[in-house]
């Protein structure tokens, strides 16, 4: 009768080989989803039942190291029709400028805003952390 015991090194070897074969595919899928975070968020909204042809009021999250920088960003965005709110983060490390604006959400409009936000943030050492919106039916 053959021995049904599988040596642990064989199990571990098979697991390592399987992981090595799957990891690049999983990483590539994750990287594609990160390559266009606006498209990912739009897809999530649509899957949740949101009507993307209707105006939404997205919240955009812009972080900077100083209150002065956050207020400068807020001033620029207010001049462009955004409502803004500036406050220090819970960690106390950064300042958040949360900006909202009623708009129809399209990949093109969001990509343009992302570029504008990045241009505002770069000289201040800030970071754009994306956006979110509630479902609109």
C-alpha–C-alpha distance, residues 53 and 100, integer Å: 18
pLDDT band at residue 21 under the 50/70/90 scheme: low
Return the closest-CA partner of residue 76 out of 126, 134, 129. Answer: 126
At 114 the pLDDT is 97
Is the pTM higher than 0.85? The answer reads no
C-alpha–C-alpha distance, residues 76 and 64, integer Å: 14
Residue 75, domain extent: 1-137
At 20 the pLDDT is 66
Strand partners, 62: 97, 128
At 53 the pLDDT is 97
Give the pair of three-digit tokens for residue 113.
């805003």
At 43 the pLDDT is 94
Q: What is the pLDDT of residues 82-116, one digit of tens each?
A: 999 999 999 999 999 999 999 999 999 999 999 99
At 35 the pLDDT is 74
The domain tally of the chain equals 1
Q: What is the pLDDT of residues 30-78, one digit of tens each?
A: 555 567 899 999 999 999 999 999 999 999 999 999 999 999 999 999 9
For the chain, helix, strand, coil in percent to 5 are 50, 20, 30
Q: What CATH number should be reported for the domain holding residue 37? A: 3.30.70.970
What totals of helices (H) and strands (E) does the chain contain, helices first?
4, 6
At 76 the pLDDT is 97
If you average pLDDT over residues 6-32, what whole number do you get? 63
């Amino acid at each position: 009768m053959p021995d049904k015991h599988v040596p642990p090194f064989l199990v571990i070897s098979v697991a390592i080989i399987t992981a090595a074969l799957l990891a690049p595919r999983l990483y590539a899928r994750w990287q594609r989803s990160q390559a266009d975070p606006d498209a990912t968020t739009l897809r999530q909204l649509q899957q949740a039942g949101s009507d993307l042809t209707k105006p939404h009021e997205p919240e955009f999250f812009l972080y900077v190291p100083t209150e002065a920088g956050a207020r400068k960003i807020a001033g620029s965005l207010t001049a462009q029709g955004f409502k803004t709110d500036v406050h220090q983060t819970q960690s106390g490390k950064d300042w958040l400028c949360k900006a909202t604006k009623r708009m129809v959400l399209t990949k093109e409009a969001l990509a343009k805003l992302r570029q504008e936000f990045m241009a505002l943030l770069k000289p201040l050492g800030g970071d754009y952390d994306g956006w979110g919106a509630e479902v609109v039916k």
